[in-house]
């Protein structure tokens, strides 16, 4: 069973399509926020086309979302998807994943919340920086950004068979992995 993680697409159409192609075959994909709008602190991405993203994501039942700081009610309306939850717990393959965009709390607070909820993994976005590590008995994952990376490369994450992998979108290669 495979589950994908994307975050901070910020309206980058070609980037999102490339990420979704890499995640083809996933039973579920988790979008960790900031779907359509590029945000006031970011330049407009080269592949910015939120209208085309709407058409790609509209009606997809395999994607669950958490609300990012750049997501708005209008995004939810045009996508026809639930973007109202700032966090959620997803159970998959006997593991529990705590999803939160990550702009309102610290990493330590997210870890404590994940523990309280009985989760094995905390997944956040927001920083546009990839993270995959174990801290205090919890796996901490940030899949980075598909569109506006702050660490040099666009990325996604993939869970399969008890392992989480970070993937570079350019090379379509695994750049880090960790066992649960």
Contact 92, 55 (CB under 8 A): no
3-class SS of residue 176: strand
Instruction: Output the tens digit of pLDDT for each of the chain's 180 residues.
Output: 999 999 999 999 999 999 999 999 999 999 999 999 998 888 999 999 999 999 999 989 999 999 999 999 999 999 999 999 999 999 999 999 999 999 999 999 999 999 999 999 999 999 999 999 999 999 999 999 999 999 999 999 999 999 999 999 999 999 999 999
Per the structure, how many domains does the chain have?
1
Residue ranges making up the domain that contains 74? 2-179
109 membership: H or E segment, kind and range: helix 107-116
Strands 138-142 and 163-168 come out as unpaired
The closest alpha carbon to 19, from 153, 137, 150, 162, belongs to 153
Give the global pTM. Answer: 0.97
Contact 66, 40 (CB under 8 A): no
Output the domain CATH number for residue 17. 3.60.21.10
């Amino acid at each position: 069973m495979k589950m994908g993680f994307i975050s901070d697409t910020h309206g980058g159409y070609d980037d999102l399509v490339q990420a979704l192609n890499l995640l083809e075959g996933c039973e579920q994909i988790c979008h960790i926020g900031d779907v359509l709008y590029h945000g006031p602190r970011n330049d407009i991405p080269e592949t910015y086309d939120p209208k085309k993203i709407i058409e790609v994501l509209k009606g997809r039942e395999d994607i669950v979302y958490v609300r990012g700081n750049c997501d708005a009610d209008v995004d939810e309306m045009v996508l026809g998807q639930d973007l109202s939850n700032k966090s959620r717990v997803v159970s998959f393959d006997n593991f529990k994943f705590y999803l939160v965009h990550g702009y309102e709390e610290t990493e330590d607070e997210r870890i404590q919340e994940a523990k309280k909820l009985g989760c094995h993994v905390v997944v956040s976005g927001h920083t546009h920086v990839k993270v995959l590590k174990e801290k205090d008995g919890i796996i901490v994952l940030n899949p980075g950004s598909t569109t506006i990376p702050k660490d040099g490369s666009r990325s996604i994450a993939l869970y399969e068979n008890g392992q989480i992998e970070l993937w570079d979108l350019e090379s379509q290669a695994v750049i880090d992995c960790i066992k649960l």
